[in-house]
Structure 1
């Protein structure tokens, strides 16, 4: 019987530091200029790593998790820019599907379709979506949220009643910084909830290797000229705490 080993990824150190601190019996492995942390969380074998930013970095990292550490499933956690008007800073999005918004080999292949694969959208595993859903709903209970994040930090980012959304995440090697970019993307992919730079690439690699995955993103900004200016503080004080609590409750 195959041993269950969960891979846990984030793009930035600040997004994943708290999860690394949860590890027991931690071992470190240096491969391809990345440090992989192997250990247990709640007696479950896990490997934790941050990939750096972008689709290539994320693809290389998840490939190593699969081929070198033999992970059987993957959880990616980090921040994203909100595209949907229904999202606010501090909300969480679970990607039910992921698409690379900067993939365009038309007219050789349909826009967004990955050449020679015949797919543009990659679906997260239903059971992992459900586990993440239950974990996040527990965290968003007001008594619990204020127990793990200070009122000052919540107030700084105007986080009062954060909510969970499940839907399409779009990934690409591009930082969204104005309303024109958002409007253009919504014309092409109107169901998009948020944008980031790694998730769909990770999803494609997991699909090709048959690895169940789920992508979980905390909304750090509105992907326009009003984006939050204290990004580092947000990742350390909000999204990092979210990641710690989500992982603790998913892995039981």
Structure 2
């Protein structure tokens, strides 16, 4: 089955995963600490991705070349863009795009120069396993909204799992004007973050299966910074743990 790599976006998510692994060993390569071990009968390597596309690409390349990962799963948080994507929901990518890639007029906006495409598809079977795990995680309560400081932002419905386009760029989208512009340019985008499309391009180049899953921490607008850290501690890290555990148990 090979070695599954887990890239965690936030230190809290990484630590929660490490706490669940019984035998991890730290290995340092080119700066990041990689943790090699086992969980749920699967050989794993777990690492903090770093923030932004360059950090994510460097980390992904090391996972493939130094640790011989055969699949990569990225877990983290994102801002919601889709009209029905709310705080506490989970988005599983079916494809990823760099929203700040623009080499026009030499190439169409969003297109990766020399590749002839802008949207990079995830691995269907792995992504479906992740979506099933996310659905189970939310059903059992790890992603349900609770009465904490985020109540001012969250609706009172149960959290949902969405599958579709996630877009990435090297900036934290935190204003209504920015998120509106993204929705106008990419009306089917469900969420925005800072790493996933870089991972997608590396995995595409290496021909390695990958999946990206994001818990929605905000609506990528003027309130995006509110209680972000508390959301990670109270919601996102628990959702990430249950999604990874469920994915491993699905055997993908």
In 2, the alpha carbon distance for the partners of 1:155 and 1:109 equals 42
Match of 1:71 in 2: 69
In 1, the alpha carbon distance for the partners of 2:78 and 2:145 equals 22
CA contact (8 A) 2:149 2:227 kept: no
Match of 1:99 in 2: 97
Deviation of the 1:229 alpha carbon = 1.3
Match of 1:145 among 124, 141, 153: 141
Mean Cα displacement is larger for which, 9-18 or 29-38?
Answer: 9-18
CA RMSD of aligned residues (A): 1.8
1:60 maps to 2:53: no
Deviation of the 1:179 alpha carbon = 1.4
Match of 2:189 in 1: 192
Which aligned pairs between 1:123-162 and structure 2 lie closer than 5 A? 123-141=121-139, 144-145=140-141, 151-153=146-148, 156=151, 158=154, 160-162=157-159
CA contact (8 A) 2:52 2:194 kept: yes
Match of 2:161 in 1: 164
Deviation of the 1:173 alpha carbon = 0.3
Match of 1:215 among 212, 217, 222: 212
In structure 2, the residue corresponding to 1:190 is in which secondary structure? coil
CA contact (8 A) 1:96 1:129 kept: yes
Match of 2:88 in 1: 90
Runs of at least 5 residues in structure 2 that lack an aligned partner in the other structure:
none
CA contact (8 A) 2:150 2:227 kept: no
Q: TM-score if structure 2 supplies the norm length? A: 0.93
Mean Cα displacement is larger for which, 228-237 or 201-210?
Answer: 228-237
In 2, the alpha carbon distance for the partners of 1:138 and 1:119 equals 34
Match of 2:9 among 6, 11, 34: 11
Measured against aligned partners, the alpha-carbon deviations of 1:64-97 in whole angstroms (never above 9, x if no partner) come to: 0000000000100000011112111000000101
CA contact (8 A) 2:13 2:241 kept: no
Q: 1:154 to 1:92 in 2, by over 3 A?
A: farther
Mean Cα displacement is larger for which, 148-157 or 218-227?
Answer: 148-157
Q: TM-score if structure 1 supplies the norm length? A: 0.93
Deviation of the 1:11 alpha carbon = 2.1
Deviation of the 1:222 alpha carbon = 0.7
Mean Cα displacement is larger for which, 4-13 or 195-204?
Answer: 4-13
Match of 2:233 in 1: 236
Q: 1:197 to 1:118 in 2, by over 3 A?
A: same
Deviation of the 1:30 alpha carbon = 1.1
CA contact (8 A) 1:6 1:71 kept: yes
Structure 1 runs of 4+ with >4 Å offset: 148-157
